[in-house]
Amino acid sequence: MAGGEVRLAKLVKAFDEVTVVDGIDLHMPGGEFFSLLGPSGCGKTTTLRMIAGFEQPTSGEILLDGKNVALTPPHKRNVNTVFQGYALFPHLSVFDNVAFGLRRQGTPRAEVRRRVNEALAMVHMEAFAKRRPAQMSGGQQQRVALARALVLKPAVLLLDEPLGALDAKLRKILQIELKALQQEVGITFIYVTHDQEEALTMSDRIAVMHEGRVEQVAPPEVVYEEPSTTFVADFLGTSNVIHAVATQATASGCEVRVGEFELTAGRGAIDARGETKIAIRPERVTLEPHGSTGPNRLAGMVERVVYLGNANQIIVRLPTGEALQALVQNTGEKLAYEQGDPVRAHLPAEALRVLADTGAAEIEEQAAAAA
């Protein structure tokens, strides 16, 4: 389906004296699965509501296929919204819930039946057409809500934490189904979530939001592997963020000092100098016996071992007092380290990133460049 391009330009939303969306710039090409990710209160839902037309921006533009719709009523925008609460009519059957919008548009009866059946088939709910919402599970109701939104053939589908009320196992199943559905229908999905796994699993690109601003916009693997700020590194997944002092450039990156130990960080803001922070994911940390030698190693003591099923999380206390997490896969063999063991933690230079927190102007430049 052609169209569905969304562009937000210097978008601001303030309630009285509180600014909840603070001048964001985003570009979402047609057909993209784009996620707004961030903690509660970061402005992601307000941004979605402005795209839907449920909130009017204080200033800025909302461009849908090149046309500014910032002041256009919701029913005149070619977008539809799926909410966490499903919002199905309890007294109507599944078929009638999905057909509701088409009938209000005056669509001929034969076309209503054809399009409703097609929409129910897309979400595998054909056999439930005569049931009412109370006769279905939460996951089934969510599929009906999706069908009801898609049957109107919007250019953009907005999804406000639609899986939040479901149990963990069902959420994982529907994450895969939702991404497959988006690829099948080919329309733009804009998805709001605070769940990092959801965003990483489904998105083509992610905008990480914090205090009304966009911290980073990139594909999931880039946001995860190459966080641009301390907030992104700390919020997305689990990351070790360690205080360090950047001293000088090296042939392979930036030399940093953590306590009395010198390390080389090969990624990130390698031109940084002075007080800074470095980051590394737990799965990239390797634990070795205390007597092992070599570059990029820190001494430490095993403080706690947490069994996770498919892996063991080992928390190591460093001489600086900071904690370092390592993730050791469960191979079925006895774990080599126990609480109280002295160890060496190997932090490979290519996995160690220097973080540089940016100011507001630089964040805006990053978002504009990503667009």
**Where do we find the tokens 């927190």?**
357
pLDDT at position 246 over 70:
yes
Q: Give 13's strand partners.
A: 21
Pairing of strands 274-280, 353-355: antiparallel
For 181-221, give the DSSP string. Answer: HHHHH--EEEEEES-HHHHHHH-SEEEEEETTEEEEEE-HH
pLDDT at 288: 95
How far, in Å, CA of 305 to CA of 316, rounded? 9
Per-residue pLDDT band for 357 (boundaries 50, 70, 90) equals low
Given a contact cutoff of 8 angstroms between Cβ atoms, the answer to whether 78 and 156 are in contact is: yes
112-171 pLDDT tens trace:
999 999 999 988 899 999 999 999 988 899 889 999 999 999 999 999 988 877 788 888
- Structural domains of the chain ordered from first start: 6-228 (3.40.50.300), 230-355 (2.40.50.140)
Cα–Cα–Cα angle for 64, 66, 68, nearest 5°? Answer: 65
User: Which residues lie below 8 Å from residue 273, measured CB to CB, with a gap of 6+?
Assistant: 246, 247, 248
Alpha helix (H) ranges present in the chain? Answer: 44-52, 94-104, 109-122, 138-150, 168-185, 196-202, 220-225, 230-235, 360-370
Q: Give 355's strand partners.
A: 277
Per-residue pLDDT band for 253 (boundaries 50, 70, 90) equals very high
Given a contact cutoff of 8 angstroms between Cβ atoms, the answer to whether 100 and 147 are in contact is: no
pLDDT at position 361 over 50:
no
* Distances in whole angstroms, Cα of residue 149 to Cα of each of 19, 109, 115, 120, 159: 31, 18, 12, 11, 10
pLDDT at position 212 over 70:
yes
pLDDT at 358: 42
80-123 pLDDT tens trace:
999 877 789 999 999 999 999 999 999 999 999 999 999 999 88
